[in-house]
Amino acid sequence: MGKSWLRDYIIKRLIYAVIIAWGIVTITFVLVRVGPSSPADKYLANMAASGQDVSQITTAIEARYGVDKPIFEQYADYMVNLFQWDWGWSFSTSMPVIDLIKTHWIYSFQLILLSSLFAAFLGILIGIYSAVKQYTKIDYTATFLSFIGISIPNFWLGVMLILLFSVKLGLFKAYYDTTLPLFSLENLKALVLPVITLGTGMLAGYVRYTRSAMLDNLRKGFVTTARAKGLPERTVIGKHAFRNAILPLFTIIMFDLGSIVFGGAYLTEIVFGIPGLGQISFNAIFADDYPVVVAVTLIGTFLILMINLITDVAYTYLDPRIRYD
């Protein structure tokens, strides 16, 4: 009962989420459908090469995929089907969109989850250590390496890791193997290089943010008071300084999670041949496969909205002074 305002807030946010998701789906649908390209484009060169009537065949192919109807009718059909859990037929991959997503989401999910955990855990740890040991060799080294980590493009890092650990040392396979059981050590091993590739940039960022936030707090009066009380240094850092530094860090981590959900993982997927949703949606955009584009956008939007909601709710636990009355 004590947090009934939070329940009301969550319900309100969920209602907003549905409205926003609907708005974004509508905008995406219209943008994809009013563009100059058509699913028939890929046939143009062949049709022209065989001397066929381009307009006639274009019309036929558009009819095959149902994109010849007025846009409002296409939209109405799409939304009705969507509510019946029929997400349409992907004409660039020749399978139902829902099956396509069911098959591929896990590859993106495991990569994003493990990369975020890797980056957050190590980044925060190194950042705290760097702040506590300010202006020591360790701090300088951490700062130097984190600048390198932030600057390295992850597609380049991925290729370098493959050349070193797969080609030269033979420790890992040069590509991600989808035949491995999901919950197995082999799968975890196969994800080591992709996770390092995707996580390094984030990790480096977290080192910098954590160091900065910790230094801010370590200079504040309550830390001096805690030390004056004779509390052990571990308690001062962990329970006092870090507790207060965690809020901006948490915001950044959740923001990063949202960014990689919406495309950040794509390049890593490409380099390691991971057939995740990033690759699927990228290819769908170029193939004018609007059922897939809209579906992936919808999922991405919903995930971002949920991440934001979780972040806001988590604030109230991390800092009990925050209320959303």
Partner 1 sequence: MRKTRVFTALSLILVMLSSGCTHAEVEQVGGIFVEGQSGGDAETLNWILAADAASFSYVGHTLDTLANYNNQLEIHLLCLAKDVEVSPDGLVYTITIRDDLKWSDGSQVTAEDYVYTLKNLMFSDWLNYPYKNSWQEDVDGDTVFVTPEVVDDTTFTITRQTVDPEFVYIIYDLIPYPKYITTKYEGDVEAFTQAPELNNLTYTGNLGPYKFAEWIRNDRYVVERNPEYYLGKDSGAPYFERYVIKLFGTSATIQAALEAGDITYCGIEPDKVSKFKSLESINVYTVPTASYTLVGYNHRANGWEGLKKTTIRQALSMSIDKQVITDKVYLGFAEPAFSFIPMTSPWYTDEGIAKYGVEVLYDKQKAIELFYQAGYGKKRADGTMEIIDKDDRLLKLILVTTTGGGLAEDIAFLIKQELSDVGIEVELKLVPWETLVRNYLMNKVPGTDQESRYNNGPEAVSDEPWDLVLMGFGTDVLAPSGSGIFFTTEGGLNFFGYFNTEIDKLFKRVRSKEALDKEVRQQIYAEISRILSEEQPVDFLVFRRSNVGFQKNVKGIEPGISMGYNYYLWYFE
Q: Alpha-carbon distance 128 to 255, whole Å?
A: 20
Written as one letter, the residue type at 252 is I
Q: Which of 74, 103, 143, 187 binds partner 1 (CB under 8 A)?
A: 103
Residues 65-84 that bind partner 1 (CB under 8 A): none
Contact status, residue 94 vs residue 39, Cβ threshold 8 Å: no
248 in contact with partner 1 (CB under 8 A): no
The piece of 142-150, 172-180, 213-221, 238-246 that touches partner 1 (CB under 8 A) is: 172-180
The piece of 126-134, 174-182, 239-247, 303-311 that touches partner 1 (CB under 8 A) is: 174-182
Q: Which of 104, 208, 211, 240 binds partner 1 (CB under 8 A)?
A: 104
Q: Which of 14, 30, 76, 95 binds partner 1 (CB under 8 A)?
A: 95
32 in contact with partner 1 (CB under 8 A): no
31 in contact with partner 1 (CB under 8 A): no
Q: Which of 129, 209, 242, 272 binds partner 1 (CB under 8 A)?
A: 272
Q: Which of 52, 74, 212, 311 binds partner 1 (CB under 8 A)?
A: 52
Closest among 192, 318, 297 to 253, alpha carbons compared:
318
93 in contact with partner 1 (CB under 8 A): yes
The piece of 108-116, 224-232, 270-278, 297-305 that touches partner 1 (CB under 8 A) is: 270-278
DSSP of 30-71, one letter per residue? HHHHHSS--TTHHHHHHHHHTT--HHHHHHHHHHHTT-SS-H
Q: Quick one: tokens of 142?
A: 């951490």
Binding mask 208-237 toward partner 1 (x if CB under 8 A, else -) reads ------------------------------
Q: Please say which residue, 91 or 129, places its beta carbon nearer to partner 1.
A: 91
Closest among 174, 168, 319 to 250, alpha carbons compared:
319
Q: Which of 21, 25, 61, 128 binds partner 1 (CB under 8 A)?
A: 61
43 in contact with partner 1 (CB under 8 A): yes
Cα angle 65, 67, 71 (rounded to 5 degrees) comes to 150
Q: Alpha-carbon distance 107 to 114, whole Å?
A: 11
Q: Please say which residue, 205 or 278, places its beta carbon nearer to partner 1.
A: 278
Give the strand pairing for 95-96 and 89-90.
antiparallel
100 in contact with partner 1 (CB under 8 A): yes
Q: Please say which residue, 7 or 69, places its beta carbon nearer to partner 1.
A: 69
Q: What are phi and psi of 89, to 5 degrees?
A: -110, 125
DSSP, collapsed to helix, strand or coil, labels residue 89 as strand
Give how many residues touch partner 1 by CB under 8 A. 55
- Region of 298 (left: φ > 0; alpha: ψ -120 to 50; beta: rest) is alpha
163 in contact with partner 1 (CB under 8 A): yes
Closest among 216, 209, 217, 213 to 253, alpha carbons compared:
209
Secondary structure E strands in the chain: 89-90, 95-96
Q: Quick one: tokens of 28?
A: 């995406």
Contact footprint for partner 1 (CB under 8 A): 36-37, 41-52, 54-55, 57-58, 60-61, 63-64, 89, 91-96, 100, 103-104, 155, 158-159, 162-163, 166-167, 170, 173-175, 178, 269-275, 279-280, 283, 287
